[in-house]
Amino acid sequence: MARRIVFVCTGNICRSPTAQGVLHKLATAHGLAGRVEVASAGLQDWHAGAPPDARSTEHALRRGYDIAGQRARHFTPLDFEHFDQVIAMDAGHHDQLRRLCPPRHAHKLRRAADFSDRVPAGGVPDPYYGDANEFEAVLDLIEAICQGVLAEVGPPREPPPAAGRIAGRK
């Protein structure tokens, strides 16, 4: 069964869709695509239905992550039911999610900073009002976070021996 992960930021147009795209591509590259289901959402519904910010899309694509097909969506309390991990991109998001989270799902809530020592305790800064350097710095942090997530998912499983074949024999 795949681990279902949702990244959450403010409007779901910069950080969280980038994280979704990066984790999807890295999981596929590491042979873990079948073990990870990834999505993203925003705490605010301002951009629901909109594509990621053009600058996020552009910078992600330069590194080989195509996020253009994603559409922003609003995080809902049902997401706590569906997802195994709810990853807040910054400390403010974590605080908001903690207030929304039913106690029975509190174990699912994580901070992006939990996955890499490279991420400041406050989490991934919002590049929305920044320049190209800030979008690149955010990508660096998100790549580190996604590597940490994949480390928790674990290495790809070995396929079972072929039917009728005894392990250790050719």
What's the CA gap between 81 and 50, in Å, rounded? 25
Nearest CA to 145 out of 17, 41, 22 is that of 22
Write the CA distances from 80 to 2, 99, 102, 113, 169, integer angstroms: 16, 12, 8, 20, 46
Catalytic-role residue among 9, 14, 101, 146: 9
Catalytic (active site) residue 146: no
Catalytic member of 53, 101, 126, 146: 126
CA 11 to the chain's CA centroid:
14
Given 14, 15, 79, 101, which residue is catalytic?
Answer: 15
90 assigned to active site: no
Helix (H) or strand (E) holding 9: strand 3-9
1 close to 74: Cβ distance less than 8 angstroms: no
165 counts as catalytic: no
- Residues taking part in catalysis: 9, 15, 126
